[in-house]
Amino acid sequence: MEFIKRRTICWGLCILAFTPFVSAQEEQEDATKFGREAREGTPSLWRDSEKPLDQRERIHHLLSRVTFGVTDATIYEVEQLGVDKWLEQQLEGAADETEALQDRLAKIPSLTMSNQEIVQTYRVPVPPLRRNASPEERKRRAEARAKQEVPKNDLKDTVLLTAVYGKNQLREVVCDFWRNHFNIDVSKGNVKYYATEYERDVIRGEALGTFNAMLNKQARHPAMLVYLDNYISRAAPQKELLEAAQRALFSTRDFGAAMEAVDIAKMKGINENYARELMELHTLGVDNDYTQEDVITVANILTGWTLQQNPKEPIVFQFRKDMHGSEPRMLLNKRVPSIPRNPEMEGQFVLNMLVSHEATSKFLAYKLCRYLVSDDPPEDLVERVAKVYMRKKSDMKEMYKAVLMDEEFYNPKNYQSKFKRPSEFIASALRVTDAEIESTGGVHAALLQMSEPIYQCEDPTGYYDQADAWRDPGVMAPRWSFSLGLGLEQIRGVRIPASYWEGLKQGNPVQWKEMLTNRILPGGCTEKTSEALDAVIAKYARFNPEPEQLGRYIVGILLGSPEFQRQ
């Protein structure tokens, strides 16, 4: 956090001039156009879609959207505390985490490490592969490569485990939203060494804070600087630097850092990648007011926004004047001043402009409503949320509240209308079965197979958050495999605890079915599902299975049922 403090001091100089939200916004003439439109929702099947939600349904609906899977325990919690109080606690991220989760996370050393510590610990040199390498050599090489993957795998595990076991479910859900919004991909270059801190400081650190802070932090975070190439974007070529960096290549033990230095030195011009996505994906939304020229302008202004990559020093944001070209420029029809004494502030000026731009408020409000309410959110709700964003100076909690406490949220049309994304499906299946994840490999493999591995979305858009994109014919097959596999304990490293089957010690199959249905589908199910389940039970009952064995089949089927695909 040291660098944040340092930054704050620098900002102090200019803060008065550049604090966003100080002036009233100019009128935006164009109605904001948004990137994607949903075509159709997923209609709710087993209830009259006009009938207002009753109290139980309201709780079920809220929990469907702000948790990774509605469990008996969470319903009980809300009933005990009352909806408002529960929501308040969730918005503060104030619920106590279980000891089991805390212990588990405490055993992952990389989680609390800085970028520098991670690089020092895990970016071990990999010996080159020689043609006649001995088995010993090959083994050492494999071990070194595996070590480099450790922080990435730790991070993926943490995201998975907190989504499933975390008590602050709302925070986990919005973290998922922002992770997609400010997407990075740990498969790209050195991102994997910086992603742990990115998750901790940028995503988790600000998901209940302000958008302004999150935007500023991601713009300066090594993970994002590398992922979208801004770290090598420079105004002027530097021959001496390149030569020095290339010389260093031959004398270094840390080849990764030296290569990064060469990359930076070689960069002869601007790289537009980050500048474009900053406007298109992070703030204004595609085509909202900006042009290709604006992209080039922003890229120029952000030259020199790079990272200190020598592992002997903290690996943090660094503004490099020698890479930056300073001149006054026009952006979005406004003048961005040249600030030769502190040129980093030119970029700060741009971030402030974007944060307080009305198109940003609408774009974020739309995406958030699409995520929490419906694939095709009502315009007036979006507008109300956008206004809250402007009025409350990008305070995220206020935005979440504006969505979740709006009566439109509880419109019966929205009830069980969203098709779960693969990650939501898997997390909810693990939650409703009290599954114990002893090792995570099997779950990660399933996510990969369903095209949504954690922190590995190649496109800067992040994963789709609309049903349409995930509901193609064919996609159900891997879900069913996972469902049945989970019930029958065939997912590597995952088991359902014995206590889950306690209730099957007495009673008969009909009662077991009812008990398990209530647990897995607290919103109820259609007659068709119920009858089909009866048929399967009847078929298996002929073989006189152990109650637990039958229960496992029932669970596997319920997880694969149409109802469980919805939220």
Partner 1 sequence: MKRRNFLKMSAITSGAVCLNVGGFNAAARAQFGPGDNPTLVVIYLRGGQDQLNTIIPHKDKKYYEIRPSVSIKEENSIALDDQWAFHPALEPLKSWYDKGKVAVVVNSGSPHSTRSHFDAQDFMEYAAPGNRTVRDGWLNRYLAATVPDASKGYGLPELRTLAMQELLPRSLRGRYPVLAVPNNLDGLQEVLDLFDGFYGGDEKKDLAAFLKQSTNVRSGVDADPVMTSGRETIYGLRRLQEVLKGENPEDLNNLAFQEYPAGHFASRMKKLASAIKSGVGLEVAATDIGGWDHHIGLGSVDGALDRMLKFLSEGLSAFMNDLGSHLDRTMVLVCTEFGRVCKENGNAGADHGHGGAMWLLGGKVNGGKIYGKWTGLQDSVLNQKRDLPVTTDFRDIFAEVLQGHMKFEVPDGFFPKYKAKANSLGLFA
| 376, 434, 468, 548: residue in contact with partner 1 (rule CB under 8 A) | 468
Site string for partner 1, 76-115 (x = CB under 8 A): ----------------------------------------
Integer Cα distance of 242 and 248 in angstroms: 10
Contacts within 8 Å (CB) and 24+ apart, 60-65: 60/522, 60/523, 61/409, 61/410, 61/414, 61/415, 61/416, 62/87, 62/404, 62/409, 64/416, 64/418, 64/523, 64/567, 65/173, 65/372, 65/373, 65/404, 65/418, 65/567
- What SS3 class is residue 566? strand
Of the listed pieces 34-42, 118-126, 163-171, 386-394, which binds partner 1 according to CB under 8 A?
Answer: 34-42
Beta carbon nearer to partner 1, 19 or 526: 526
| 149, 379, 459, 514: residue in contact with partner 1 (rule CB under 8 A) | 459
Subset of 395-424 contacting partner 1 (CB under 8 A): 419
Of the listed pieces 8-16, 88-96, 150-158, 472-480, which binds partner 1 according to CB under 8 A?
Answer: 472-480
Beta carbon nearer to partner 1, 91 or 426: 426
Helix (H) or strand (E) holding 495: strand 494-495
| 28, 246, 342, 481: residue in contact with partner 1 (rule CB under 8 A) | 481
Closest separation in Å from C-beta 410 to partner 1: 22
- What SS3 class is residue 293? helix
Contact 146, 50 (CB under 8 A): no
Subset of 483-542 contacting partner 1 (CB under 8 A): 483-484, 528-529, 532-533, 535-536
Integer Cα distance of 430 and 248 in angstroms: 50
Tell me if 566 contacts partner 1 by CB under 8 A.
yes
Query: Cβ of 45: how many Cβ atoms within 10 Å?
Result: 14
Beta carbon nearer to partner 1, 185 or 201: 185
Contact 513, 533 (CB under 8 A): yes
Tell me if 118 contacts partner 1 by CB under 8 A.
no
Integer Cα distance of 327 and 324 in angstroms: 10
| Alpha helix ranges (H) inside 107-181 | 115-122, 135-165, 169-181
Of the listed pieces 165-173, 230-238, 350-358, 392-400, which binds partner 1 according to CB under 8 A?
Answer: 230-238
Subset of 233-272 contacting partner 1 (CB under 8 A): 234, 237, 263, 266-269, 271-272
| 477, 510, 538, 541: residue in contact with partner 1 (rule CB under 8 A) | 477
Contact 257, 312 (CB under 8 A): no
Integer Cα distance of 196 and 123 in angstroms: 14
Of the listed pieces 23-31, 105-113, 406-414, 557-565, which binds partner 1 according to CB under 8 A?
Answer: 557-565
| 298, 410, 557, 567: residue in contact with partner 1 (rule CB under 8 A) | 557
Secondary structure letter of residue 168 according to DSSP:
-
Tell me if 461 contacts partner 1 by CB under 8 A.
yes
Integer Cα distance of 495 and 488 in angstroms: 9
Tell me if 549 contacts partner 1 by CB under 8 A.
no
Closest separation in Å from C-beta 50 to partner 1: 13
Helix axes 169-181, 135-165, angle to 10 degrees: 120
By CB under 8 A, how many residues form the interface with partner 1?
A: 61
Query: Cβ of 448: how many Cβ atoms within 10 Å?
Result: 13
Give contact residues for partner 1 (rule: CB under 8 A): 33, 35, 37, 39-40, 42-43, 45, 229, 232, 234, 237, 263, 266-269, 271-273, 276, 280, 286-287, 292, 295, 419, 449-451, 458-459, 461, 467-478, 480-481, 483-484, 528-529, 532-533, 535-536, 557, 560-562, 565-566
